[in-house]
Amino acid sequence: MSKYLYIAEKPSVAAEFAKALKRSTKRYDGYVESEEAVFTWCVGHLVTMSYPDRYDERMKRWSLETLPFIPEQFLYEVIPSVSKQFKIVKTLLNRKDISRIYVCTDSGREGEYIYRLVEQMAGVSGKERRRVWIDSQTEEEILRGIETAKDLSEYDNLGASAYLRAKEDYLMGINFSRLLTLKYGNTLANYLRKDRTVISVGRVMTCVLGMVVRREREIREFVKTPFYRIVSTICLGGGTFEGEWRAVEGSSYYGQPILFKDNGFLKKEDAEKFVELLKMPEPMEITVDQVERRQEKKNPPLLYNLAELQNDCSRMFKISPDETLRIVQELYEKKLVTYPRTDARVLSTAVAKVIDKNIRGLGKYEPAAVFAEEILREKRFVGLAKTRYVNDKAITDHYAIIPTGQGMAALSGLSQTSRKVYHVIVGRFLSIFYPAAVYKKISVATKRKVQALSKEESFFSSFKVLVEEGYLKVADRFYGRKKQEGKEESAKAEDGSVDGQGGYGPEGETFMRQASTLKKGMVLPVETFAIREGETSPPKR
């Protein structure tokens, strides 16, 4: 009787396929088998590209005479440490009773490359091969992947791109590492006081190293520039707000070289002179010149792809991109999230149609339960396909990383950091089912007639308050935000400029009510004109 062979990347994944197919298996060395099927695994890479000395003994010795090294035919070999598993897999692939091979390695370029190298070295021929392409390791997704598996030839272009990338990495690493080591290795070794030094070159790492070095040079060569801004404290109702002076067109200082940008002075004495001029004549008053009122919406962010998740985890949890990938791969293998190696930040139309399954599953995750219940009760998932979070054209291999709503039993066995990463993935996912946050924003321009200069000098203020929380109530729960967005945004300004006032809650709303009474031509008392000292900052590492 013929059997089907399922070949995965890891033993745990092979076990999930056997479990999903409900096969009663018997364990052997390197595989498990039932009456209908055989399940085996690759334990990562089993085959690799050969070193140059396999081509020519002379290549053992690094020499400029043997460069560039560009073979017409590339050689491959089994990795010695996993040769036993390769022999097992090779035997199974070529077993006479195996009529069909299901390729179940990770659904991506690297997974494709892992299998094709094994098949190439094993000399497989005359077998039907089908590619299982899945987005998560849930039982229903595995069964769907098997049912819809296409002939392996449908993925030949993906396989070709994997081979090409590997050859590019190989040729760049071999040739440039040897060239630069031969040219500059001794000089570097002498500088480092070592016997010898190898200069490693790689397609990715060398570019990243270059960026790090350039940024570090910018930081070390950076010279701080002090500056002095002028701020007015304007009275309104029972409170005050600040206005920032700018040398706009019509100002006595417009375009003057003594300025730092258009909102400060390079020397403190110039700032002090200007403040004294601003204080005259008394009483100190300022006139409202322009008032602009508008609503501002902030939509929930797009879903996570791997790069965005790595950025956030680095910022929030201080873990490396590699550690984030390891964690999200673990979450994927435990059925908690979808496939991690994706560059898409949206969902497919097909997934959007059944997204309520993911939401229902999250009802079992305590931090998400109240939101999942609300989304389902109010049917907020209906019409998701028409939003910016669904776009089939923006998806190459896989859609964004989202929680599957399954695998909750595995959470207790995860590390604290892994649980945190899962937590933020869930929070980002739930956010897309909530409306935009709505802010009320008021921008005010005021003018002060400076008698000694016979000119009017302009001050600018802006106020923002949250009036509709929208998706931020999810963000507050999952990201621990303290509703300080107005302050966070203003702190980003390189020159230290800030919004006049912003806020949330009763105090912010009270001030906005007072600010809403502002009209052009109103004359307001000024409590003081002050100097704010600051200095430019170097780029961040």
Is the pLDDT at 291 greater than 60, yes or no?
A: yes
In this structure, the answer to whether residues 158 and 12 fall within a common structural domain is yes
pLDDT (0 to 100) of residue 511: 76
In this structure, the answer to whether residues 28 and 88 fall within a common structural domain is yes
In this structure, the answer to whether residues 283 and 362 fall within a common structural domain is no
In this structure, the answer to whether residues 337 and 288 fall within a common structural domain is no
Is residue 507 in a domain?
yes
In this structure, the answer to whether residues 143 and 231 fall within a common structural domain is no
Secondary structure of 45-85 in HEC code, one letter for each residue:
CCEEECCHHHCCHHHHCCCHHHCCCCCCCCCEEECHHHHHH
Q: Which domain holds residue 51?
A: 3-164
Tens of pLDDT, residue by residue over 99-144, are: 999 999 999 999 999 999 999 999 999 999 999 999 999 999 999 9
Is residue 371 in a domain?
yes
CA 93 to CA 95: how far, in whole Å?
Answer: 6
Among all residues, which ones are annotated catalytic? 339
Helix (H) or strand (E) holding 457: strand 455-468
In this structure, the answer to whether residues 426 and 460 fall within a common structural domain is no
pLDDT (0 to 100) of residue 84: 97
**Radius of gyration for the chain, computed over Cα atoms and rounded to the nearest angstrom:** 32
In this structure, the answer to whether residues 247 and 99 fall within a common structural domain is no
The number of distinct structural domains making up the chain is 3
Which CATH number fits the domain that encloses residue 410?
A: 1.10.290.10
Whether cis (ω within 30° of 0) applies to the bond prior to 226 is no
Name the pLDDT band for 471 (thresholds 50, 70, 90).
very high
In this structure, the answer to whether residues 425 and 474 fall within a common structural domain is no
pLDDT (0 to 100) of residue 513: 79
Q: Is 111 exposed, middle or buried (0-12, 13-18, 19+ CB in 10 A)?
A: buried
Is residue 479 in a domain?
yes
Tens of pLDDT, residue by residue over 270-283, are: 999 999 999 998 89
Question: Helix H segments across 193-305?
Answer: 205-221, 268-278
Query: Please, how many CA atoms are within 13 Å of residue 227, restricted to the half-sphere of its CB?
Result: 21
Find tokens 């809650």 and name the residue: 505
Tens of pLDDT, residue by residue over 514-532, are: 888 899 999 999 999 999 9
In this structure, the answer to whether residues 448 and 400 fall within a common structural domain is no
Is the pLDDT at 506 greater than 90, yes or no?
A: no
Is the pLDDT at 296 greater than 70, yes or no?
A: yes
CA 371 to CA 377: how far, in whole Å?
Answer: 10
In this structure, the answer to whether residues 239 and 311 fall within a common structural domain is no
CA 203 to CA 184: how far, in whole Å?
Answer: 19
Is residue 179 in a domain?
no
Which CATH number fits the domain that encloses residue 56?
A: 3.40.50.140
CA 524 to CA 240: how far, in whole Å?
Answer: 10
Is the pLDDT at 419 greater than 60, yes or no?
A: yes
Helix (H) or strand (E) holding 508: helix 505-515
